[in-house]
Amino acid sequence: MKKNKDKNEFEITETAEISPEINGDIGNNRFKLPSAKRNFKVRVLSTIVLLALLLGFVVSGAIYTSLKSYTDLNADAASYTSIILTVGLLGICMFEMNKTMGFKNWYYQVLMITFATIMFIFPLSFNMYNFSFYTEMSLETWLQLWQFPVLVTSYLIVTIIIGFADKRIDIKSALINFIMTMIIIMGLKAFSISSLGLIETVNPETNEIKISARFSFVTIVWIWMMIILSDSFQYIGGMRFGKTKLSPNISPKKTWEGALIGLGVAATSGIIFAMIFKFTPPLQDFQPLKEPMQSLGGRSMALEIIVYILLALVFPIIGLFGDLLFSWVKRQVNIKDYSNLIPGHGGALDRMDSILFSLFVLFIFISSVA
């Protein structure tokens, strides 16, 4: 009986406070509560730090693609910096997920993070990895695409074996850990490909080869901006106007009112952002999803605009689903946060859940159009 009570009382997500309720009405302005004000201040300060870290990720990709496109300077250092930072983030995310699902022993962590790093580095399609590290290593000469399914299968088998062998871990936890690991890896793959990917085009008149960004680092800025705005305004809207719980069994702090406000602000901002880059000539070389969108625009500008609008509407919803998915994982083991890494937010996965799942979907999209 106690177990059920604990499960029902445990709050999972980090978004709008539902409790304590005021006069039984969760629609009252909860910003008036001292605890809500303190939590909001901590979240704002932590968000500023997170945005500074995001800037470091984005700048490295921007420097690399810009130098390669417009100068003859060696830009490899920027590409390596981006990859190293991404591998570091992968390690943190994997550590938190492994620990959450019961893989707490250091040798489990080392084995599984090593597997994840290899799978992240492994190029799934060589034409999408036309950037430094991959071009210098000439991986296509000694890696074959059929090897990746073998690598993934090996990781799955290792995860299941540990789940059987360790009584503290059940098979369900092992399978959840495997699925979430693949989402994290593919999401971060999309980050690197979008930030660093290059394409070579030949001028038919001069036969000159031009190097330019394939998808543009702005793609990451665009998606991340929508996710941040969606999360922030879900929090603010839920605190101020929230009345109806969105998913009480998975995320008891979210409300439909907050979700609709957040999604609306994010989609509107995403459409405006994309249109600014689309119709401002100096910015067109950096428009989100540059190559596939300009290819669409070459056939029909209306189609390109419609796709931008659809993506701006869909990605905030995908981000919300990702938030709920990662919250559901925490619900399975009755924890509030993945870690205490970020004050007021929890762990890296508590703040990266929406963007990681969005980037996972982005990976599927760019793989289909590459």
Return the minimum-mean-pLDDT range out of 239-253, 300-314, 354-368. Answer: 239-253
The contacts found for 270-273 with CB under 8 angstroms, 24 or more apart, are: 270/222, 270/225, 270/226, 270/311, 270/312, 270/315, 270/316, 271/308, 271/309, 271/312, 273/222, 273/225
Cβ(250)–Cβ(12) below 8 Å: yes
pLDDT, position 101: 96
pLDDT score of 343 more than 70 = no
Dist CA 319 CA 323 (whole Å): 6
Dist CA 110 CA 4 (whole Å): 34
Segments in the chain forming alpha helices (H):
2-9, 34-70, 76-100, 106-121, 134-137, 147-165, 171-196, 218-241, 256-279, 290-299, 301-333, 348-369
Dist CA 238 CA 225 (whole Å): 19
User: 40 pLDDT band (50/70/90 cuts)?
Assistant: low
User: 42 pLDDT band (50/70/90 cuts)?
Assistant: low
Provide the percentage of residues in the chain whose pLDDT is more than 70. 85
pLDDT score of 268 more than 60 = yes
User: Of the segments 36-45, 127-136, 202-211, 353-362, which one has the largest average pLDDT value?
Assistant: 353-362
User: 35 pLDDT band (50/70/90 cuts)?
Assistant: low
CB neighbours (10 Å) of residue 256?
16
pLDDT score of 127 more than 90 = no
pLDDT, position 138: 78
Average pLDDT over residues 277-301: 92
pLDDT, position 251: 84
Q: What is the pTM of this model?
A: 0.86
User: 342 pLDDT band (50/70/90 cuts)?
Assistant: confident
pLDDT score of 32 more than 70 = no
pLDDT, position 46: 65
pLDDT digits (tens, 9 = 90+) for 184-202: 999 999 999 999 999 988 7
Between 174 and 69, the more confident residue is: 174
pLDDT, position 192: 95
pLDDT score of 281 more than 50 = yes
pLDDT digits (tens, 9 = 90+) for 147-180: 999 999 999 999 999 999 998 999 999 999 999 9
User: Of the segments 22-31, 133-142, 348-357, which one has the largest average pLDDT value?
Assistant: 348-357
